[in-house]
């Protein structure tokens, strides 16, 4: 998962007043790394911030990635700099695709999208339809005009569009009332929608319900305390103050750890945890992975404790 | 120091919903009737049906590990054993715990919501005289202690951390108010008097990760033990107390901390 890609903006178009679609091609015209539905890339935005965007295009196409970016007026600025400042012909640096929201085999699928959260679910939906899977997509937006890919999706019987400005909030209970161990639910949207689906699926097997969350978490909120890290390859002990993340502290002492979102969502900076207690704050690692790994951009150790970490063994 | 009883709660099943009470009849040496008299035992654990010996809390499903339990609204009628489980006001299970069929239905329900492996299910633990409280392993006397939370202490913590702290994170039986913050931590060996009822404070309550769970959203969103340690240098909030002299207590009753006046 190392290295970055340089891509060229091949096309930019308006999907809604707030959302722009970008088609990205390799700058040197070669094939791009393969991805699966649900994957995202981390983009170094013109504003300087790194942001994660789901790939919404067809995973079979190796010549392009498609992302859709909502302009967040009150967000951290990365999206606005893309929507307003990135034009066809411009180059962007992105990470290779990472999939922390992959499709699992199931007899039935329910996809629940809110707003720009449609992006990963659109790729999943088309993928599942091509495979002949039993899939239903609930796509919730405020108005028809706020609905990216409306024309493409509206005609499908398996898609239910719902616009809250006219019809109020959709009652999701009829779709979630019967827990189904053979089904999988995938949900991506604003926190209020994901909280609602989380609350309404408490009687489901949690392993059957998946959420994609790019809002990010902080590694140094008010509850952070200083601790120490032992870097296994060199035996060096690194002091991590309350005001710094483990990632920053490692870097300050010359340890190279690749990273991207720095908000616990992308999975790039994963470290092997060899010993010591961890305070996991990320949104990436599965519960069983937390026993061996740690995301140093947000996760810490208890105050005063020492945690032993090292790089993740290279794949292949 | 005089305050009052704010509210009273029973938690009939360990880890599951609080149930508010309008009055509680207390008897010497006994806890709140029906409190933690059921629990969900881990299928791979040491609990066996009918076992009366105490087991540590890690043998049971509990909020410290299984925050998902807070997302289910459960209500047990102790008189009939009738249990209703709801998800946002929608009933998803009704069963009678006291029947074999009902216990099986409850096991199957929690096997799903706790994602137990294929063929495994929690055992519905229940044994005469046993309460599945965290301190039940200390002694039967501690098992029968009443848990007390001082709302002024919770407000003090709220103010220091700058975030709302739902008092129900602490899952106490008896919530009191109108007393100085953390005055409940100086009571061990002394009395708590509620009218004619006398309790004796026996142990300050060290908080565990169960308090990290938001009782409304079922998400772990506030590191309460860590925040207590940072703000006060200890992880205590609330006190356990044994009933010395029984009687009926109700919200609004006057509460006095310390020795008899």
* Phi, psi values for residue B60, rounded to 5°: -125, 160
Evaluate whether A207 touches B115 at the Cβ level (below 8 Å): yes
Q: Which residues numbered 222-241 in B keep a CB inside 8 Å of some CB on A?
A: 223, 226-227, 229-230
**Is B165 found in the same domain as B90?**
no
pLDDT of residue B261: 47
Give the integer Cα–Cα distance in Å for A131 and A128. 5
Which residue among A203, A222, A303 sits closest to B113, beta carbon to beta carbon?
A: A203
Res A214 pLDDT > 90: no
Q: Which two tokens stand for residue B171?
A: 């899952």
**Is B24 found in the same domain as B54?**
no
pLDDT of residue A143: 96
pLDDT of residue A217: 54
pLDDT of residue B146: 97
**Is B169 found in the same domain as B229?**
yes
**Is B65 found in the same domain as B177?**
no
A177 touches chain B (CB under 8 A): yes
**Is B57 found in the same domain as B25?**
no
Q: Which two tokens stand for residue A79?
A: 């999206």
pLDDT of residue B104: 94
Domain residue limits at B43: 39-125
**Is B87 found in the same domain as B115?**
yes
Of B101, B125, B149, at which residue does a domain stop? B125
Mutating which of B69, B91, B92 best tests the A interface, going by the most A Cβ atoms within 10 A? B92
Does a structural domain hold residue B131?
A: no
- For chain B, what's the residue count? 261
Q: How confident is the model at residue A1 (pLDDT cuts 50, 70, 90)?
A: very low
B160 touches chain A (CB under 8 A): no
A302 touches chain B (CB under 8 A): yes
What is the arithmetic mean of pLDDT over A109-119? 97
A135 versus A3: the higher-pLDDT residue is A135
Give the integer Cα–Cα distance in Å for B29 and B200. 10
Of B100, B125, B150, at which residue does a domain stop? B125
DSSP letter string over A70-83? E--TTS-SHHHHHH
Chain-chain contact of A303 with B218 (C-beta, under 8 angstroms): no
What is the arithmetic mean of pLDDT over A69-88? 82
Evaluate whether A82 touches A43 at the Cβ level (below 8 Å): yes
Quote the number of domains for chain B.
2
pLDDT of residue A315: 40
Angle at A10 between CA A7 and CA A14, to 5 degrees: 120
A236 touches chain B (CB under 8 A): no
Give the integer Cα–Cα distance in Å for B181 and B165. 15
Task: List, for residues A92-101, the tens digit of each pLDDT value.
Answer: 999 999 898 9
This prediction has a pTM of 0.81
Q: Bridge-partner residues for A135, per DSSP?
A: A109
Q: How confident is the model at residue A75 (pLDDT cuts 50, 70, 90)?
A: low
What is the dihedral angle through the alpha carbons of B42, B210, A226, A220, rounded to the nearest 10 degrees? Answer: 110
Res A79 pLDDT > 90: no
Which one, of B204, B75, B190, B57, lies nearest residue B133 by Cα?
B57
Does a structural domain hold residue B231?
A: yes
Mean pLDDT of chain A: 90
**Is B239 found in the same domain as B207?**
yes
Locus of tokens 């007026």: A73
**Is B220 found in the same domain as B102?**
no
Count how many pairs of residues, chain A against chain B, have C-beta atoms within 8 Å: 57
Evaluate whether A31 touches A16 at the Cβ level (below 8 Å): no
Chain-chain contact of A225 with B230 (C-beta, under 8 angstroms): yes
Does a structural domain hold residue B62?
A: yes
**Is B254 found in the same domain as B160?**
yes
Res A215 pLDDT > 80: no
Closest Cα in chain A, distance from residue B70 (Å) = 9
**Is B82 found in the same domain as B166?**
no
Does a structural domain hold residue B57?
A: yes
A181 touches chain B (CB under 8 A): yes
**Is B140 found in the same domain as B231?**
yes
DSSP state of A15: S
Evaluate whether A194 touches A213 at the Cβ level (below 8 Å): yes
For residue B68, list chain A residues with Cβ-Cβ distance below 8 A: 202, 206
pLDDT of residue A223: 62
Low-confidence ranges of chain B (pLDDT < 50): 261
DSSP letter string over A94-145? EPPPB-SS-----SEEEEEEEGGGHHHHHHHHHHHHHTT-EEEEEEEESSGG
Residue A72 vs residues A84, A206, A259, A264: alpha-carbon distances, Å: 11, 31, 23, 20
For residue A199, list chain B residues with Cβ-Cβ distance below 8 A: 71, 87-88, 217-218
Q: Bridge-partner residues for A25, per DSSP?
A: A8
pLDDT of residue A216: 52
**Is B141 found in the same domain as B24?**
yes
* Phi, psi values for residue A204, rounded to 5°: -90, 165
Q: Hey, how many other C-beta atoms are within 10 angstroms of the C-beta on B161? A: 18
**CA B56 from centre of chain:** 15
Strand ranges in chain A using DSSP code E only, listed in sequence order: 5-14, 19-26, 40-44, 50-54, 65-70, 91-94, 108-114, 134-141, 159-163, 183-188, 209-212, 227-231, 236-240, 271-275, 293-294, 306-311
> B25: domain CATH number?
2.40.33.20
Long-range contacts of A150-154 (CB under 8 A, 24+ apart): A153/A122, A153/A125
Give the integer Cα–Cα distance in Å for A137 and A187. 10
Q: Report chain B's C-alpha Rg in angstroms.
A: 18
Does a structural domain hold residue B130?
A: no
Give the integer Cα–Cα distance in Å for A64 and A74. 30
Chain-chain contact of A223 with B223 (C-beta, under 8 angstroms): yes
Task: List, for residues A131-171, the tens digit of each pLDDT value.
Answer: 999 999 999 999 999 999 999 999 999 999 999 999 999 99
Of B63, B91, B125, at which residue does a domain stop? B125
Q: Hey, how many other C-beta atoms are within 10 angstroms of the C-beta on A314? A: 7
Does a structural domain hold residue B164?
A: yes
């Amino acid at each position: 998962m190392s290295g970055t890609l340089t891509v060229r903006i091949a096309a930019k178009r308006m999907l809604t007043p707030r959302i722009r679609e970008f088609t990205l091609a390799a700058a040197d015209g070669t094939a791009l790394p393969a991805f699966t539905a649900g994957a995202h890339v981390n983009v170094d935005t013109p504003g300087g911030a790194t942001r994660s965007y789901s790939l919404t295009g067809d995973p079979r196409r190796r010549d392009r990635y498609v992302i859709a970016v909502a302009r967040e007026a009150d967000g951290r600025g990365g999206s606005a700099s893309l929507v307003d400042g990135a034009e066809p012909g411009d180059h962007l640096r992105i990470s290779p695709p990472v999939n922390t929201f992959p499709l699992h085999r199931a007899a039935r699928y329910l996809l629940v999208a809110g707003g720009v959260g449609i992006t990963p679910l659109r790729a999943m939906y088309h993928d599942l339809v091509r495979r002949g899977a039993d899939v239903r997509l609930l796509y919730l937006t405020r108005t028809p005009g706020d609905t990216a890919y409306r024309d493409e999706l509206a005609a499908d019987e398996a898609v239910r569009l719902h616009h809250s400005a006219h019809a109020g909030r959709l009652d999701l209970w009829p779709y979630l009332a019967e827990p189904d161990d053979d089904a999988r639910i995938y949900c991506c949207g604003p926190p209020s929608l994901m909280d609602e689906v989380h609350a309404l699926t408490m009687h489901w097997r949690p392993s059957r319900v998946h959420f994609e969350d790019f809002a990010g978490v902080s590694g140094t909120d008010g509850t952070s305390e200083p601790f120490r890290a032992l870097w296994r390859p060199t035996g060096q002990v690194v002091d991590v103050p309350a005001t710094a993340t483990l990632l920053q502290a490692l870097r300050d002492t010359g340890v190279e750890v690749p990273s991207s979102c720095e908000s616990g969502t992308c999975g790039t900076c994963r470290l092997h945890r060899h010993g010591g207690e961890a305070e996991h704050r990320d949104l990436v690692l599965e519960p069983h992975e937390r026993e061996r790994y740690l995301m140093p951009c947000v996760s810490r150790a208890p105050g005063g404790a020492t945690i032993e970490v090292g790089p993740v063994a290279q794949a292949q | 120091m005089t305050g009052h009883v704010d509210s009273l709660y029973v938690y009939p099943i360990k880890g599951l919903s609080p149930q508010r009470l309008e009055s509680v009849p207390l008897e010497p040496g006994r806890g709140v009737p029906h409190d933690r008299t059921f629990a969900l035992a881990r299928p791979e654990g040491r609990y066996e049906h009918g076992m009366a010996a105490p087991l540590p809390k890690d043998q049971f499903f509990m909020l410290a590990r299984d925050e998902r339990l807070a997302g289910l609204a459960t209500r047990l009628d102790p008189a009939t054993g009738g249990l209703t489980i709801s998800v946002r006001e929608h009933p998803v299970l009704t069963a009678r715990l006291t029947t074999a069929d009902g216990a099986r239905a409850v096991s199957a329900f929690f096997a799903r919501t706790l994602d137990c492996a294929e063929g495994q299910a929690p055992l519905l633990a229940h044994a005469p005289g046993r309460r599945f409280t965290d301190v039940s392993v200390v002694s039967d006397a501690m098992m029968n202690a009443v848990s007390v939370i001082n709302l002024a202490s919770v407000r003090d913590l709220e103010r220091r951390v700058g975030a709302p702290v739902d008092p129900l994170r602490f899952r106490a039986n008896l919530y009191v108010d109108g007393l100085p913050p953390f005055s409940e931590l100086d009571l061990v060996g002394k009395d708590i008097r509620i009218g004619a009822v006398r309790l004796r404070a026996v142990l300050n309550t060290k908080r565990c990760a169960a308090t990290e769970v938001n009782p409304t959203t079922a998400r772990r969103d506030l590191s309460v033990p860590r925040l207590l340690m940072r703000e006060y240098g200890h992880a205590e909030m609330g006190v356990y107390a044994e009933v010395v002299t029984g009687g009926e207590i109700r919200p609004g009753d006057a509460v006095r901390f310390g020795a008899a006046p």
